[in-house]
Structure 1
Amino acid sequence: MITAVAAVVVALGSLWVSYTQARDSRRHGRQSVRPMLHMRRVKEYEGTEAGLNVINAGLGPAIVTRSIVRLDGEVIGQWDYHTQQRLLGPLPTRPKAHSLRPGAVVLAGQSTFLLSLDDFSDDRHGWFWELVTRRLVIEIHYESLYGGENFMVAPPVF
């Protein structure tokens, strides 16, 4: 009888160890491909380019699920071609823009400007720096290859 009880206890202990090891292994696998988008405003960092930059500092690709663009606190759409046309059309100089539609992928280590001016100078383009620092907010929602996490990044608040 004692031998049978001891065998059941050992079997249950082994089952518990196997379960926790498998759970931790799955968790580690998810973390090993986790994306981590970081958004920053760049002004004359290396050269004369300025704008709103997004970087995937994580270990896996970030899959964009949606984006929200706010201008002066009002939602004007997603960060796609049509929203860019409405936003950039009336500006004195047309900045370069990179869309992030749902399904777009930001690879691990990738860095791209969402909105930028190549030849930025404070005296000629103060309006642009005001736009990217005070008026425009681009919020990007994304997930990993596993899906369902609903991560989000937006520019830091000044």
Structure 2
Amino acid sequence: MTQQSNDTDDLTVVGLTSSFEAFGLVMDYLSRVAPFAGFELGKFGGIIRQQLARGHNLAALNGRREMVGYAGWIHTSSVSAELWALDQGPLQHLDGQAHDAAALTVVAVSDPRATMRLMRGARALNKGVRVYFKRSYDGEVRGPKKASVLNFSTEA
């Protein structure tokens, strides 16, 4: 489990393990925030299970240990992610294969302090690859703003 906190407040960012408890925690949170509150459970539940199983997630928790943010991603190619970011194609998941991109497919935040911490945490866990995302607010996609960030590896 990774953990990041800031001494000036009570917000903590953690990586969740693959467990029924983590799955329930994420699904409960996402069922209460837009746009995910209106999603059908079947396919969406599978996406969350895969993010948990692969360790491709971060959660923001407040001082009462309530979830106030979630970010989950998949590994993919830059070509696939660029098309996805433009709504011109589906994401191709590269499980266990060489990938040059990660796509943040599920991001929800109910405490604004969590947004940058989740994004920075996802970037830190995906060093050396471009991280893609779509910007939307309450389910409304807004653009054209930056839709990817290249992470440089700090390893020699």
Bigger strand share: 1
Question: TM above 0.5, one fold?
Answer: no
TM-score by length of 2: 0.26
Question: Comparing both chains, which one has the higher relative contact order based on Cα–Cα distances under 8 Å and sequence gaps of 6 or more?
Answer: 1
TM-score, normalised to structure 1's length? 0.26
The higher radius of gyration belongs to 1
